[in-house]
Amino acid sequence: SAVHLTVLDEVDSTNAEVLRRWPDAGSAMPVCLADCQTAGRGRRGHAWQSPKGENLYLSLGLTFHGGFALLDGLSLVLGVAVADTLEQLGATNVGLKWPNDIFIGERKLGGILVELQGELQEGIVQVIVGIGVNVHMTRAELVDQPWTSLAAAFPDRSWGRNQLAAALIQAVQACTSVFARQGFHAFRPAWQARDIHFGKSLRARQGQLEGVGAGIDDAGNYLLRTDDGLVPVRSGEISLRVV
Ligand code: BTN
């Protein structure tokens, strides 16, 4: 379906720009790409370092009919869409860290920020999806965890941001329309196949809960195998247990 595309040299956040442009998009999907962001946003209130000319900063505005309940699992579906796209373009060893961090091996390549815009009217929900992928990132000092870029991980290929953006827009449209019709269930195997935490010792709930990574349930919760059985973790950070 139609896309209303805005491409900018610089913006505060492509997610914020999609919200501003949404009224102009009519029935098309508002999409924004920028060369750099001055106030890039990450999950859980973190900043997303967004230097110029190096990476992909992409946001899309999605509309769902059916209310907030439908949105359980959307984050995970988006992770699958991004992972599928990267593999189609030649990346290997693509992993997902719950809910939707994108990894290559043990290093973070990108992330997804899902922001609920609220209910337009009864049963119609607007969601802004922001995708950040390190493409040519070279500035190691900017990031506070082990990270990689497509160019660093796969130096034999040339990575064009426009090609990547076009493929991601298509994949997000395709996956979210299947999701709107069928729910999260159809995506569970594809997500679990890439789970970087599976079988690892983990902690959750600020360290209160310890267990072994056991994949996700049908609602998209992460499961920890504990002494008391499988425990679903609904929110908060899951991290590797340091032993
Ligand atoms: C994370 O914390 O892992 C999510 C990072 C999401 C970053 C992207 S870059 C494009 C879009 N605009 C933003 O301000 N954030 C998202």
Ligand 1 within 6 A of CB of 111 = yes
End of a domain among 157, 174, 192?
192
pLDDT band of 243, cuts 50, 70, 90: very low
CATH code of the domain covering residue 216: 2.30.30
Q: Which residues pair with 81 in a beta bridge?
A: none
**Residues taking part in catalysis:** 43, 108, 241
**Is the distance from the beta carbon of residue 130 to the nearest atom of ligand 1 less than 6 Å?**
yes
Residues 151 and 187 in one domain: yes
Say if residue 77 is in the same domain as residue 145: yes
| Cα of 57 from ligand 1 centre, angstroms | 7
Same domain (yes/no): 174, 224: no
Distance in angstroms (rounded) separating the CA atoms of residues 227 and 207: 15
Q: What count of Cα atoms within 13 Å lies in the side-chain half-sphere of residue 76?
A: 29
pLDDT at 242 over 60: no
pLDDT at position 127 is 93
Whether 227 and 136 share a structural domain: no
- The burial class, CB within 10 Å (0-12 / 13-18 / 19+), for 144 is exposed
Q: Are residues 177 and 230 in the same domain?
A: no
Do 125 and 227 lie in one domain? The reply is no
Query: What is the domain extent for residue 226?
Result: 201-240
Q: How many CA atoms are closer than 13 Å to the CA of 57, on its beta-carbon side?
A: 30
Question: Does any ligand 1 atom lie closer than 6 A to the CB of residue 113?
Answer: yes
Phi, psi of 18 (to 5 degrees): -60, -40
Residue 181 and residue 99 share a domain:
yes
126 and 64 in a single domain? The answer is yes
The answer to whether 13 is a known ligand-binding residue is: yes
Q: Please check whether residues 28 and 107 belong to one and the same domain.
A: yes
Question: In 3D, which of 92, 62, 88, 94 has the Cα closest to residue 75?
Answer: 62
Can the peptide bond before residue 23 be classed as cis, meaning omega within 30 degrees of 0?
no
Is residue 173 marked as binding?
A: no
| Residue 78 CB–ligand 1 contact under 6 Å | no
Residue 148 CB partners (closer than 8 Å, separation 6+)? 104, 105, 107, 108, 109, 134
Kindly indicate whether the ipTM for this predicted assembly is greater than 0.95, answering yes or no: yes
* Nearest CA, atom 3, ligand 1: 111
**Bridge partners of residue 189, in order along the sequence:** none
38 shares its domain with 68: yes
Residues 188, 206 within the same domain: no
- Same domain? For 175 and 65 the reply is yes
43-95 pLDDT, tens digit each? 988 999 999 987 999 999 999 887 666 666 899 999 999 999 999 999 999 99
pLDDT 10s digits, 17-48: 999 999 999 999 999 999 999 999 999 889 99
CB of 191 within 8 A of CB of 197? Answer: no
What does the pLDDT read at residue 133?
97
CA distance 216 to 19: 31
CATH of the domain at 57: 3.30.930.10
Q: Which of 8, 57, 133, 168 to mutate to test the pocket of ligand 1 (most atoms within 8 A of CB)?
A: 57
The pLDDT-based confidence of 96 (bands split at 50, 70, 90) is very high
Name the 3-class secondary structure at 150.
helix
Number of separate domains in the chain: 2
